[in-house]
Amino acid sequence: MATDYAARCPVSPARITWLVAAAILLSAQGIGAQKVRVEEELEAYPTESVDLRCQFIDGGGLTKLTQVSWIWEPVDGQRDNIAVYHPVYGQSFPNQSFKDRVVFLHNSLENPSIRISNLRMSDAGRYTCEYATYPSGNEQGTTTLVMLAKPKNSANVVTVQAGTKSVVVARCEAADGKPAATIKWLASVGGNHSTSTTNGPDGTVTVRSEYRLVPTPADNGREVTCMVDQRTQERPWVHPVKLSVEYPPSVSIEGYDNNWYVGRSDAMLLCVSNANPEPTTITWTAASGSLPDTVVVDGNKLMVRKVDDAVNTTFICEVKNKHGASRHQITTVVIEALEDPSSTGMVAGAVIGSLLALLLVVALVAVLLTRSRRQERRGYPSSGDSIATGSGGSNGGDYGNKARLLFGSSGNNGSSKNGTGGNNNGPIYTYREGCDATGTLTEKANDYHHHHLHHASTGNPPTAHDILLSGDMDAERRKFELDDSMEEEEERYDRFGGGGGNMLPPAYHVHRGHGGEEEMDVYLDDDMESQRDGSVISRTAIYV
C-alpha cells in the first residue's frame, strides 16, 4: 500500500530538501532551549537592582563555548549589546546607558549572570543571553524584565458654586504608575465620572478621573470616595473627600414666642443664616427706622433689655457673603403685662386644694345627714335627748343615742300616760341587749321566757291573761328578730350618755319591785316610733 501511494504521489527533490532543513532547525532550537537556562520573567522597581541569571548546560561536553553576550531589546526590532564576555579579551560593555550599572557576577562562560543596578523605568524589555559555540553555532535564552512603579495617588475637591450645570466637583489621580491603575468612585450624590490616561517618557502611566454633578446647597459637605487599584498595591487605595459647594445666604429669625408683654426682660431674637462661605456681615434694622433704645445687638442676636411699646415694630435681619445677600423680617406685638407664671401656678394649686377640701367637707356632711335620717326612720331619739322615768324624776340622768324606754303604770293610785303620775309603783320597761348580774353590758342575745311575764313574787300559776300576752309577745319577737340581726353590729357598741354616769345598754325589761327585791322580765320589742312632739311610742300592745 505504501508503494502504491508513493507511485501515485511522487516527492520532488526540492521538497525533500526543505523538509530536512526544517527538521534540522527544530532540532537545533530544541537543543538550544535545553542548553541555555534563564528565568522567563522578572519584576523590579526603579532604583532597585536585579540579577539576570544565565547558565549553559552541556550534557555530553562536546560543545565548545567561545563567547557570551547579553542583548537588550527594549522594543521589537531593536537589539543592543550591553555586556560581552570573552575568555581571552575579558569583559566589555558597549552600551553607554548600562556601562556603569551592569557587572558580571562570575568570570565564567558557563555562568555569565549579570546584575543591573539603579534600575530605571526605561530598562524594561527582553534580555537575551546568547552563546557562540562550536560546532552547533549560537545558543540563547531570553528573560523579560518588567519594570513596576507604584503610582502616586491623590484626591482633591474642587470648590464650585451652586448652579444648574454639571461641573467637576472632585478629582482623583494615580500618577507615574506601571502598569496603569484603575480608578473607581463611591458616592451617593448621583453624579458621574470620566477617566483619562497619559503615558510618560519612561514608560509609566498617569490615570486621572473627574467626578461631576449639578451642585446644590444640599450637596455641600457630602462625601465622595476615590478608590485606586494597581498591581503594586497590596490593597486598594481609598480616600474620601467632602464636596465644597458655595451659595448665597438664606436667612430666618427665631426666638419670638408671641408673648412679649410690657416689662419683660428676657426677650431675644436670633438671626439664623445658612451660607457658604460664612457671612461677612449681619445687620439688624427696624422698619420704623432706627432700633429702639431698649434693644442691644450682638452679632446675630438682638436682645431687648425691657419690653415696652417701642419694640412693637418689625425687625429686619440682613446677611451678606461674596455670592450675595438675603434678608428676613418679623413683626413683634407687645401685649399687656401678664401675671408671673410662678404666682399663677400657686393660685392654681390653692384653688385645686380648696376644691378638694370642699369636696371632703361635702362628703362628710352627706354621710352625717344620711346617718341622721336613717336613725330618724328607725325611731331613735337623737343623741343627748333626755327621757325621764318614774314619777317625773330622772333615772340616773340623761340617756344617750338609741335609748328606748317604755313607761307604764300600775297600782292603787293610777298613773299618768307616760308614767309621770303620782304613783311610782307601776312596771317600767327598759330596752337592753344583755347584762350580767353586776349590770355590765354583754354581747349575749335577748332571752325570752314566758314565765317572766307574771309577778314572780306572787308564786301564782300563770293566768289566761298571762298566756295570751305570752303568745302575742312570741309573734312580735319573731317579727323583729330579722331587723335586730341587721342592726346588731351597729347598735352593739352604742351607749347611753347620762349626767350621772349610768350606762344603760339598749334592752327592755319589766321592773317590778316587791319588798326591796327587783326582778327584770325581758320584754322584747324594737318597734318604737318617734313622734313629732318628741315623744316615743311603741306600736306593740302591752298588757298590764
Three-state DSSP at 5 gives helix
Instruction: Indicate if the pLDDT at residue 212 is higher than 90.
Output: yes
Rounded to whole angstroms, how far apart are CA atoms 95 and 114? 14
What pLDDT does 464 receive? 59
> 13-49 burial string, b = 16+ CB within 10 Å, else e?
eeeeeeeeeeeeeeeeeeebeebbebeeebebebeee
Range of the domain at 489: 405-538
CA distance 448 to 330: 96
**In this structure, is residue 46 part of a structural domain?**
yes
Domain membership flag for residue 87: yes
Average the pLDDT over 276-281 and give the result: 94
What does pLDDT average to over the chain? 75
Shared-domain flag, residues 182 and 237: yes
Domain boundary among 335, 368, 391: 335
pLDDT of residue 371: 82
Most confident region among 230-239, 388-397, 420-429 by mean pLDDT: 230-239
Same-domain status, 43 and 133: yes
301, 420: one domain: no
Kindly state whether residues 534 and 412 are assigned to the same domain.
yes
Would you call 352 helix, strand, or coil by DSSP? helix
In angstroms, the CA 46 to CA 149 distance is 7
pLDDT, position 397: 42
Domain count, the chain: 4
* Proportion of the chain above pLDDT 70, given as a percent: 61
Q: Of 7-21, 93-107, 172-186, 403-417, give the range with the top mean pLDDT.
A: 172-186
Cβ neighbors of 144 (< 8 A, separation 6 or more) are 40, 41, 42, 125, 126, 127
Could you tell me which of 61, 59, 100, 62 has the C-alpha nearest to residue 83?
100
One domain, residues 529 and 415: yes
| Domain stop point among 297, 313, 335 | 335
pTM to 2 decimal places: 0.51
Q: How confident is the model at residue 156 (pLDDT cuts 50, 70, 90)?
A: very high
Asked if 486 and 529 sit in the same domain, the reply is yes
The answer to whether residue 359 sits within a structural domain is no
CB 175 within 8 A of CB 151: yes
pLDDT tops 50 at residue 502: no
**What's the pLDDT band for 23 if we cut at 50, 70, 90?**
very low
215 and 255 inside one domain: no
Condensed to tens digits (0 to 9), the pLDDT of residues 303-318 reads 999 999 999 999 999 9
295 - beta bridge partners? 304
525-544: per-residue pLDDT in tens? 455 666 666 666 666 555 54
The answer to whether residues 238 and 157 belong to one domain is yes
- Residue 23 falls inside a structural domain: no
The residues, any chain, with a CB within 8 Å of residue 237's CB and separated by 6 or more, are 153, 174, 227, 228, 229, 230
Whether residues 429 and 530 fall in one domain: yes
User: Residue 406's closest CA among 529, 532, 533?
Assistant: 529
Residue 393 lies in a domain: no
495 and 417 in a common domain: yes
In this structure, the answer to whether residues 514 and 530 fall within a common structural domain is: yes
Of 175-184, 454-463, 506-515, highest mean pLDDT:
175-184
Spatial contact of 70 and 115, defined as CB atoms under 8 Å apart: no
Q: Is residue 114 part of a domain?
A: yes
Q: Which of 223, 243, 263 marks a domain boundary?
A: 243
Domain contains 528: yes
Residue 278 forms part of a structural domain:
yes
Amino acid 328: pLDDT? 97
**255 plus 217 within the same structural domain:** no
* 29 in Cβ contact with 23 (< 8 Å): no
**CATH number for the domain that contains residue 115:** 2.60.40.10
For 193, other C-beta atoms within 10 Å of its C-beta total 19
Task: Kindly state the helix (H) or strand (E) to which residue 452 belongs, with its residue range.
Answer: none
In the predicted model, what is the mean pLDDT of residues 225-244?
Answer: 96
